[in-house]
């Protein structure tokens, strides 16, 4: 592309796209003219003065005094999480009751992250439904989606519109069933997922609990509740997770190696990773509907992300199962705990191949941690993910300085503080529940760090503050295929280690590559 640097205008042989076209002199002149003559822009001194001011402690304090406006939040709304949980079940069509624009957004959001189709329908409520309620939309909607998309199950959640007007899903679905929209015995679990409560992880929890309740407690009073007959299976609930494709496959590999009987409740690793072989699969893989019922009988349930399951896990507990809550196990100690819990619950030993994997991760950390030791990091993500990453950073000898989650509360803050206090490397780290990325921007100016770990939106932080970004979390729109790599387990830890190191080495090279000035440190061996 650099060969285009000399080209002054567009040509067929070396097509200039936006990267180079708009740097050509004719465009630069045009931009300058537009700004000078028509924009009435603030003068550049004034822009510079304000820009510098936004870096100050004074600005930081004003920024943190905000009560009403949220700027660049790191969270989405409930229905997104409900869909995430729903598509993890075999042949399941997510159906969002409310206005249709939401579904267009959810589908786009997932497609941009996973680079995959994302099927979901809406009941397309408009003004008339706002006045009279959305019952007719539910009746027609279920009939249409059942006929067209031939699902094995339709999982219904709501939008803020349906919640504000108070539509009752249980009654509506019952009504639709009686009108013949779907067969009497067709499964339509549901969850109320108001967008003005919690975030996408709340929606995940509500839908997961909604589906389990529906199957276990008598399918909305249409059949008798199931009676638990305990067996030795271990359920796993993965939670809302940007790396779900890689992670689920990795834990399947680990559990198969251990010879454990397990069941992943909501397995969306296949539906968001379908092959390009000439066939479009709207549904692929997923937890079988019969397995949802079976899950009641399991010995125990492990949630890989407790903050994604604050209602689901206790509900499962009430059925007599043992429950274990983890926080997105990244790294050695967190994986150790995961495997030990599996081993304890299943009675199976941790096999030698996994022990060797563990040793290899420890070996890799030993090789590389000198490059990470003492480096300061800012981390933001969903609550469990932030905990997982922070734990691993402490293990690497890094010093987390800011840990932030927009969709977290005081309980999360307590958990993070507890984790930080377990290591001398955690001293001095601040924890920010409920804060957004504009808060983090201030922090990166007033209390700078060496690296920031976050999702795609952190590229604005990287640009504005110069803090190099390591991409982890959801959504990641501007890098491809990260979701196919696991971050859980020892192998996953290795991936995260490599991503962190790659950025550190890139920075090192970038900072030392000036000939005759800094290139004495431009080493070929690191």
Partner 1 sequence: MSLTTPAAENCQEVSARNRELIEEVLKAYPEKTVKKRSKHLGVFEEGKPDCGVKSNIKSLPGVMTIRGCAYAGSKGVVWGPIKDMIHISHGPVGCGQYSWASRRNYYIGTTGVDTFVTMQFTTDFQERDIVFGGDKKLAKALDELQELFPLNKGITIQSECPIGLIGDDIEAVAKAKTKEFEGKTIVPVRCEGFRGVSQSLGHHIANDSIRDWVLDKTAGKEPEWVSTPYDVAIIGDYNIGGDAWSSRILLEEMGLRVVAQWSGDGTIKELERTPKVKLNILHCYRSMNYISRHMEEKFGIPWVEYNFFGPTKIEESLRKIASHFDDRIKEGAERVIAKYRPMADAVIAKFRPRLAGKKVMLFVGGLRPRHVIGAYEDLGMEVIGTGYEFGHNDDYQRTTHYVKDGTLIYDDVTGYEFEKFVEKLEPDLVGSGIKEKYVFQKMGVPFRQMHSWDYSGPYHGYDGFAIFARDMDMAINSPIWGLTKAPWKKG
Point out the residues that are catalytic.
160, 164
Query: Minimum CB separation from partner 1 for residue 141, in Å?
Result: 3
Residue 301, beta-bridge partner list:
235, 323
In degrees rounded to 5, what are phi and psi of residue 330?
A: -115, 135
Q: Is 135 in the site for partner 1 (CB under 8 A)?
A: no
CA 455, 460, 463, 467 torsion-angle sign: negative
Which of 122, 158, 235, 309 binds partner 1 (CB under 8 A)? It is 122
Q: Is 461 in the site for partner 1 (CB under 8 A)?
A: no
Taking CB under 8 A as the criterion, which residues in 11-40 touch partner 1? 11-13, 15-18, 21-22, 26-27, 30-31, 33-35, 38-40
Q: Is 356 in the site for partner 1 (CB under 8 A)?
A: no
Interatomic CA distance for residues 258 and 272, integer angstroms: 26
Q: Is 112 in the site for partner 1 (CB under 8 A)?
A: yes
Query: Minimum CB separation from partner 1 for residue 229, in Å?
Result: 37
Taking CB under 8 A as the criterion, which residues in 161-190 touch partner 1? 161, 164-165
Give the number of residues written for the chain: 526
Across 49-66, b (16+ Cβ under 10 Å) vs e yields eeeeebbeeebbeebeee
Q: Is 269 in the site for partner 1 (CB under 8 A)?
A: no
Q: Is 6 in the site for partner 1 (CB under 8 A)?
A: no
Query: Minimum CB separation from partner 1 for residue 437, in Å?
Result: 9
Choices 9-17, 356-364, 396-404, 486-494; region in contact with partner 1 by CB under 8 A: 9-17
Where are the strands (E) in 109-171, listed by range? 121-122, 153-158
Q: Is 107 in the site for partner 1 (CB under 8 A)?
A: yes
Q: What DSSP designation does 395 have? A: H
Interatomic CA distance for residues 189 and 167, integer angstroms: 15
Nearer to partner 1, 163 or 384 (CB): 163
Query: Minimum CB separation from partner 1 for residue 369, in Å?
Result: 36
Which of 8, 25, 196, 480 binds partner 1 (CB under 8 A)? It is 196
Choices 50-58, 294-302, 408-416, 422-430; region in contact with partner 1 by CB under 8 A: 50-58
The answer to whether 207 touches 80, Cβ cutoff 8 Å, is no
Q: Is 62 in the site for partner 1 (CB under 8 A)?
A: yes
- For 484, the token pair is 């196919």
The site for partner 1, by CB under 8 A, has a size of: 110
Non-local (6+) Cβ contacts of 345 within 8 A are 234, 299, 300, 302, 322, 324
């Amino acid at each position: 592309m650099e060969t285009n640097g000399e080209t002054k205008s567009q040509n067929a042989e070396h097509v200039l796209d936006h990267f180079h076209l708009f740097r050509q002199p004719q465009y630069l002149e045009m931009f300058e003219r537009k700004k000078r003559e028509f924009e009435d822009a603030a003068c550049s001194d004034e822009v510079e003065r304000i820009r510098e001011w936004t870096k100050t402690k004074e600005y930081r304090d004003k920024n943190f005094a905000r009560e009403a406006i949220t700027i660049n939040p790191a969270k989405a709304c409930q229905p997104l999480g409900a869909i995430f949980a729903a598509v993890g079940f075999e042949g399941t069509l997510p159906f969002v009751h409310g206005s249709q624009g939401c579904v267009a957004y959810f589908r786009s959001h997932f497609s941009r992250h996973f680079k995959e189709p994302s099927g979901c329908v809406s009941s397309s409520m408009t003004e008339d439904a706002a006045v009279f309620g959305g019952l007719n939309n539910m009746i027609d909607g279920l009939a249409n989606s059942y006929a067209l998309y031939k699902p094995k199950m339709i999982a219904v959640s709501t939008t803020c519109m349906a919640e504000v007007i108070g539509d009752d899903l249980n009654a509506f679905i019952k009504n639709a069933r009686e009108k013949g929209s779907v067969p009497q015995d067709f499964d339509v679990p549901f969850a109320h997922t108001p967008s003005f409560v919690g975030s996408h992880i709340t929606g995940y929890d509500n839908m997961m609990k909604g589906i389990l309740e529906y199957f276990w407690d008598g399918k909305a009073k249409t059949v008798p509740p199931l009676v638990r007959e305990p067996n030795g299976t271990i359920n796993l609930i993965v939670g809302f997770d940007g790396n779900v494709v890689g992670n689920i496959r990795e834990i399947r590999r680990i559990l198969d190696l251990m010879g454990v009987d397990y069941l992943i409740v909501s397995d969306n690793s296949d539906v968001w990773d379908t092959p390009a072989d000439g066939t479009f699969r709207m549904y692929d893989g997923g937890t079988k509907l019969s397995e949802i019922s079976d899950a009641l009988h399991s010995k125990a349930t492990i949630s890989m992300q407790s903050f994604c399951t604050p209602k689901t896990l206790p509900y499962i507990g009430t059925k007599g199962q043992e429950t274990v809550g983890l926080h997105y196990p990244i790294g050695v100690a967190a994986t150790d705990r995961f495997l030990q819990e599996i081993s304890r619950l299943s009675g199976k030993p941790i096999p030698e191949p996994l022990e060797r994997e563990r040793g290899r991760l420890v070996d890799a950390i030993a090789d590389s941690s000198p490059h990470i030791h003492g480096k300061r990091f800012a981390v933001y993500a969903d609550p469990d993910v932030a905990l997982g990453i922070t734990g691993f950073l402490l293990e690497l000898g890094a010093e987390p300085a800011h840990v932030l989650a927009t969709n977290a509360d005081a309980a999360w803050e307590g958990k993070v503080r507890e984790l930080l206090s377990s290591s001398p490397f955690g001293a001095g780290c601040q924890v920010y529940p409920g804060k957004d990325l504009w808060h983090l921007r201030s922090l990166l100016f007033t209390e700078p760090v060496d690296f920031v770990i976050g999702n795609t939106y952190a590229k604005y932080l990287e640009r504005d503050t110069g803090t190099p970004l390591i991409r982890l979390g959801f959504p990641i729109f501007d890098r491809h295929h990260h979701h196919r790599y696991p971050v859980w387990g020892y192998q996953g830890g290795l991936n995260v280690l490599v991503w962190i190191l790659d950025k550190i080495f890139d920075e090192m090279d970038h900072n030392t590559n000036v000939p005759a000035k800094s290139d004495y440190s431009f080493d070929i061996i690191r």
